[in-house]
Amino acid sequence: MMESKMVGEGVKFERIRRITGYLVGTLDRFNDAKYAEVNDRVKHSIGTGNGEFEEV
Amino acid sequence: MIETIIKRDGRAVPFSIDKIANAIFQAAKATGGNDYEEALALSQKVVDYIESTGNTRPTVEEIQDAVEKILIESGHARTAKKFILYRSERSRVREMNTRLMKIYEGLTFKDAKENDIKRENANIDGDTSMGTMLKYGSEGAKQFNELYVLKPEHSKAHAEGDIHIHDLDFLTLTTTCCQIDINKLFKGGFSTGHGFLREPNDISSYAALAAIAIQSNQNDQHGGQSIPAFDTFLAPGVKKTYRRFYVSNLSKGLELLCGFEDAFEASKNLCLEVEGTYGLTPVFANDNDYQAKEADLLINKYKLPEANVRKAQSFAVKKAVKETDKQTYQAMEAFVHNLNTMHSRAGAQVPFSSITLGDDPSPEARLVCKNFLLATDAGLGNGETAIFPVSIFRVKEGVNYNPADPNYDLFKLAMKVSAKRLFPNFCFADATFNAPGYDVNDYNSKVAYMGCRTRVKANVYDPTRQVTCGRGNLSFTSINLPRIAIKAHGNTDIFFEELDRKIDLVFDQLYDRFLIQGRRRVYNYPFLMGQGLWLDSDKLKPDDEVMEVLKHGTLTVGFIGLAEALKALIGSHHGETQEARNLGLEIVGHMRSRCDQKSQEEGMNYTLIATPAEGLSGRFVRMDRERYGVIPGVTDRAYYTNSFHVPVYFPISAFEKIKIEGPYHNLTNAGHISYIEMDGNPLDNLDAFESVIRCMKDNNMGYASINHPVDRDPVCGYTGIIGDVCPRCGRHDGEAISEEVLMKIKGYSTSVCSCDENPLEEADKVAHPVDIVEI
């Protein structure tokens, strides 16, 4: 049995995000402001899924 | 006695009184003066004054201070004013030059990860040679335009962050974007400037030339390139491909069953005979009389046995459908690959491409749409999510929205693909502002969206030409809403007054820029105008100015940070209170009505956009924080909230957010988009995904999309949500993993791994998926 080679050193996960309407394949390319914005994004609850609104 | 002076760079140079005299004379001339002798006498006074202070080696600044003093003291107030202006202008130029060199220094010696300018646009790799070269050019052009081309008041407003002139580097060069009619372009062939391309003859060449059209035009404009009815435009390619496959398969059937010699020629001639006699051609849906007429000829004229003829015909249909489907898939796959790999935009970027599709019920267009979606679903070579083109599925009641609609299956597929790949986005042709004039059979009547959100439809300049194709945005400039609000100190009347002044300023600046763009000639836009892509440009000669035809485009006012503006004005944003919701709509509604009014006055298309703001997201807030300090909810983050969006950090339900943002779509006629951030993997909950999309439509949105995390581990190929650890292979970000473990995960045993093939790549390949949706 030959010794197993190690692979993937330094290979980063790709994190695809929408930036202003288009996609970007890696957060490394985001400018500082957009990077901060992406980190701040919160999820929007879907609720019942029947289009019912909470009273606003 | 002054013999030398000290220049700004520290060098000592011989003193000459004439230089002072000349500076005074020039300043006096600018106010109508004409007396050099007096200027000389005044400069002697300057020298006397400096010497009286005991200074024998004055600096340039000291001399200029003395000139100002003497001019004022000796009653030359107007000349003094001119001199001071001249002096400040010169020092502004010097500062700018220093600033530019500082920027160049950063570009040259810093990596993108340490240099924000290199990351201004996320689709340019600032670390590559061409990426850096592009930035040198762009930054230099911006400074030049700011200094020498813009009117001083526009330049000042931009530099100080009251407004932002987008794509300032291209100010003197070109316009933003275009919705390309490739149907018209292909007719009779076209030229890219380096060679002539014949009209394409099958789906592969249609798709290849569509990519070439985008790439060629991308180098004539700085914004996005869009194909507003991709399925409709490529359908003729499917038609031609099917016909070819049908004829070749019929020939095989006839050769085998009927012993035809040279069956291919015979089939071709047969097809031509039916076409010539009856005007019928073999079609993908096989829903015309072509086969009946063909059978009639084969049986009665060529005396072939009926059973064999029927058999050959049904063989030909079956094979041709399958082969056409497969070829269309491959064409779509190649199109997507091409648009993600060819760095044809200034050598550093793939073109900013978008395509709209989904509401053409013809069988050929449906095949294009289906296969484009499947190619998007499959991803690139290793299963990566394709970044381009931005694909937009056009939702339309009666065509694809409800289960009984002919393209409902494609709408379902589009949602499934979007739940995996973030694209397509969805545009809504039924929105009250998109619906007028919609005709399912006329692609020019259908609204399309470009790239991040641009929309061009109405045409005040020529109301008879409210068409989608051949038009686009000319330029846009955004207003810093939060600053106006901060300065208004809670007084909305003051806010609106100042807003009006800024709108006037932007109108003026847009028009100035239009005059520059319009004075350029057809030869400055060799593809866009030279090949007749832009509406009416086919009526111009190469040396003609493009001023008149450009009026089909839009001059656009944009804005950023409605949420922060509301917060500064009344203490809450539109996610929080009804009061803010009302005021928000009043503000944006006011901006829109100003644009409409201006359009009517000028007979041009002044429109309002919800600015995309990538580079701008941090620029205004940085300046405002410096000026006004940290104001909670206003300047306390690194970015201003995009356009009319509810702030990304604000917890709110999807449906509530849609309800609040919906009305702004109607107001922003130059473009808009809304997002919902969905938790988890939406593929596991497609019903919820669909309910969000339907809710967007119900709330009269024009263009929207659902965001969800799409992560991928390039090592094991896992695509989905990845936290700190890849759920498939268990490695951390950047960590190494043993190949043996990897093989096991991927279902390989090391013993079957031949050295020639890379099992990692093999495992990512997906089975040819044309059968996911049967059409």
Q: What is the DSSP string of B69-133?
A: HHHHHTT-HHHHHHHHHHHHHHHHHHHHHHHHHHHHHHHHHS-GGG-GGGGSSTTS-TTSHHHHH
Q: Percent of chain B beyond pLDDT 90?
A: 72
pLDDT band per the 50, 70, 90 thresholds, residue A3: low
Q: What is the spatial distance between Cα B25 and Cα B27, in angstroms, rounded to a whole number?
A: 5
pLDDT value of residue A23? 85
Residues 6 or more apart whose Cβ sits within 8 Å of residue B29: none
> In a 3-state reduction of DSSP, which class is residue B581?
helix
Mean pLDDT of B133-161: 91
Tokens coding B458 = 């109405």
Residue B480: phi and psi, rounded to 5, are -80, 90
pLDDT band per the 50, 70, 90 thresholds, residue A2: low
- Closest Cβ–Cβ partner in A21, A37, A41 for B451: A21
Q: Per the CB < 8 Å rule, is A16 touching B122?
A: no
pLDDT value of residue B350? 86
CA distance, residue A37 to nearest chain B CA (Å): 7
List, in sequence order, every beta strand (DSSP E) within B521-615.
554-560, 605-609
Mean pLDDT of B315-321: 97
ipTM for the complex shown:
0.83
Task: Name the helix (H) or strand (E) containing B20.
Answer: helix B17-30
List, for residues B715-752, the tens digit of each pLDDT value: 888 888 888 999 888 999 989 998 888 888 876 544 33
Q: Per the CB < 8 Å rule, is A33 touching B617?
A: yes
CA distance between the termini of chain A: 67
* Residue B607 DSSP code: E
CA distance, residue B452 to nearest chain A CA (Å): 4
Q: What CATH code would you report for B158-176+472-672? A: 3.20.70.20
pLDDT value of residue B752? 37
Residue of chain A with shortest Cα separation from B641: A37
Answer whether A6's CB lies under 8 Å from B739's CB.
yes
Mean pLDDT of B545-555: 97
Q: Per the CB < 8 Å rule, is A40 touching B637?
A: yes
pLDDT value of residue B400? 98
Q: What is the spatial distance between Cα B253 and Cα B266, in angstroms, rounded to a whole number?
A: 12
Res A49 pLDDT > 60 = no
Strand pairing of B163-165 and B473-480?
antiparallel
Mean pLDDT of B288-310: 94
Q: Per the CB < 8 Å rule, is B654 touching A16?
A: no
Tokens coding B381 = 């070579």
Q: Per the CB < 8 Å rule, is B737 touching A45?
A: no
Residue of chain B with shortest Cα separation from A8: B736
- Closest Cβ–Cβ partner in A18, A20, A46 for B422: A18
> Concatenated DSSP letters for B44-73?
HHHHHHHHHTT-SS-BHHHHHHHHHHHHHH
Mean pLDDT of B410-435: 97
With CA atoms as reference, report the closest residue to B695 among B669, B659, B720. Answer: B659
Site from A20, A24, A35, A50 to mutate, B interface, most B CB atoms within 10 angstroms: A20
pLDDT value of residue B567? 98
Q: Per the CB < 8 Å rule, is A15 touching B709?
A: yes
Answer whether B328's CB lies under 8 Å from B238's CB.
yes
Res B322 pLDDT > 70 = yes
Q: What is the spatial distance between Cα B641 and Cα B645, in angstroms, rounded to a whole number?
A: 7
Residues 263-292 of B with CB under 8 A from A: none
- CB count within 10 Å of CB B723 equals 9
pLDDT value of residue B756? 37
Answer whether B687's CB lies under 8 Å from A49's CB.
yes
Answer whether B444's CB lies under 8 Å from B468's CB.
yes
Q: How many CB pairs under 8 A join A and B?
A: 195
Q: Per the CB < 8 Å rule, is A54 touching B713?
A: no
Tokens coding B1 = 């006695």
List, for residues B196-220, the tens digit of each pLDDT value: 889 999 999 999 999 999 999 998 9
Tokens coding B527 = 């593809």
* Residue A45 DSSP code: B
Tokens coding B465 = 């030409």
CA distance, residue A18 to nearest chain B CA (Å): 7
CB distance from A41 to chain B under 8 Å?
yes
With CA atoms as reference, report the closest residue to B414 among B477, B366, B381, B459. Answer: B366
CB distance from A3 to chain B under 8 Å?
no
Residues 6 or more apart whose Cβ sits within 8 Å of residue B403: none
Average pLDDT, chain B: 91
* Residue B285 DSSP code: T
Q: Per the CB < 8 Å rule, is B707 touching A18?
A: yes
Q: Per the CB < 8 Å rule, is A42 touching B711?
A: no
B705: which chain A residues are within 8 Å (Cβ-Cβ)? 18, 21
Task: Show the DSSP H helices in chain A as ranges.
Answer: 32-40
Mean pLDDT of B645-656: 96
Cis ω on the peptide bond leading into residue B526 (within 30° of 0)?
no
Mean pLDDT of B413-434: 97
Every domain of chain B and the residues it spans? 4-88, 96-157, 158-176+472-672, 236-320, 711-764
CB distance from B114 to chain A under 8 Å?
no
Answer whether B674's CB lies under 8 Å from B696's CB.
yes
CA distance, residue B493 to nearest chain A CA (Å): 27
Residues 731-770 of B with CB under 8 A from A: 731, 733-742
Residues 389-408 of B with CB under 8 A from A: 390
Site from B639, B689, B690, B731 to mutate, A interface, most A CB atoms within 10 angstroms: B639
- Closest Cβ–Cβ partner in B642, B655, B712 for A47: B655
Residues 6 or more apart whose Cβ sits within 8 Å of residue B13: B4, B5, B7
Q: What is the spatial distance between Cα B62 and Cα B67, in angstroms, rounded to a whole number?
A: 9
- Closest Cβ–Cβ partner in B650, B651, B734 for A11: B734
Site from B653, B686, B716 to mutate, A interface, most A CB atoms within 10 angstroms: B653
Res B56 pLDDT > 60 = yes
Q: What is the spatial distance between Cα B1 and Cα B651, in angstroms, rounded to a whole number?
A: 75
A44: which chain B residues are within 8 Å (Cβ-Cβ)? 652-654, 657, 676-678
- Closest Cβ–Cβ partner in A6, A31, A56 for B119: A31
Residue of chain A with shortest Cα separation from B638: A33
Answer whether B419's CB lies under 8 Å from B451's CB.
no
Tokens coding B771 = 């059968």
Mean pLDDT of B505-523: 97
List, for residues B111-127, the tens digit of each pLDDT value: 878 888 777 777 677 78
Mean pLDDT of A32-41: 90
Task: Show the DSSP H helices in B352-491 as ranges.
Answer: 363-378, 408-421, 481-488
CB distance from B63 to chain A under 8 Å?
no
Kindly report the length of chain B. 775
A10: which chain B residues are within 8 Å (Cβ-Cβ)? 734
pLDDT value of residue B227? 97
> In a 3-state reduction of DSSP, which class is residue B238?
helix
Q: What is the spatial distance between Cα B316 and Cα B267, in angstroms, rounded to a whole number?
A: 11
Report which residue type is found at B260: F
Res B767 pLDDT > 50 = no
pLDDT value of residue B238? 98
pLDDT value of residue B748? 55
- Closest Cβ–Cβ partner in A8, A25, A56 for B735: A8
> In a 3-state reduction of DSSP, which class is residue B178?
strand
Task: Name the helix (H) or strand (E) containing B225.
Answer: strand B225-227
A31: which chain B residues are within 8 Å (Cβ-Cβ)? 116, 119-120, 122, 614-615, 617-618
> In a 3-state reduction of DSSP, which class is residue B409?
helix
pLDDT value of residue B273? 95
Task: Name the helix (H) or strand (E) containing B586.
Answer: helix B578-602
Res B455 pLDDT > 90 = yes
Which long-range CB contacts under 8 A does B77-83 form with residues at least 24 apart? B78/B31, B79/B24, B79/B27, B79/B28, B79/B31, B79/B33, B80/B27, B81/B31, B82/B27, B82/B28, B82/B30, B82/B31, B83/B23, B83/B24, B83/B27
Mean pLDDT of B375-398: 93
Q: What is the spatial distance between Cα B149 and Cα B138, in angstroms, rounded to a whole number?
A: 15
Q: What is the spatial distance between Cα B233 and Cα B238, in angstroms, rounded to a whole number?
A: 10
- Closest Cβ–Cβ partner in B617, B694, B705 for A34: B617
- Closest Cβ–Cβ partner in B112, B677, B711 for A44: B677
Q: What is the spatial distance between Cα B420 and Cα B681, in angstroms, rounded to a whole number?
A: 8
Answer whether B207's CB lies under 8 Å from B237's CB.
yes
With CA atoms as reference, report the closest residue to B166 among B152, B153, B178, B154. Answer: B154
CA distance, residue B424 to nearest chain A CA (Å): 10
Phi-psi region of B545 (alpha: psi -120 to 50; beta: other; left: phi over 0): beta
Please, what sign has the CA dihedral across residues B605, B607, B613, B619? positive
Q: What is the spatial distance between Cα B39 and Cα A45, in angstroms, rounded to a whole number?
A: 76
Q: What is the spatial distance between Cα B697 and Cα B415, in angstroms, rounded to a whole number?
A: 14
- Closest Cβ–Cβ partner in B452, B639, B679 for A34: B639
List, for residues B220-277, the tens digit of each pLDDT value: 999 999 999 999 999 999 999 999 999 999 999 999 998 877 889 999 999 999 999 9
Of B62-66, B88-92, B197-201, B458-462, least confident by mean pLDDT is B88-92
Q: What is the dihedral of CA B43, B46, B47, B48, to 10 degrees?
A: 120
With CA atoms as reference, report the closest residue to B675 among B658, B694, B653. Answer: B658
Q: Which residue has the tokens 């070579």?
A: B381
List, for residues B678-697, the tens digit of each pLDDT value: 988 899 899 999 999 999 99
Q: Per the CB < 8 Å rule, is A6 touching B614?
A: no
- Closest Cβ–Cβ partner in B116, B452, B733 for A31: B116
List, for residues B745-766, the tens digit of each pLDDT value: 876 544 333 333 333 333 333 3
Q: Per the CB < 8 Å rule, is B638 touching A54?
A: no
Q: Per the CB < 8 Å rule, is A31 touching B660?
A: no
pLDDT band per the 50, 70, 90 thresholds, residue B88: confident
Task: Show the DSSP H helices in B181-226 as ranges.
Answer: 182-186, 203-218
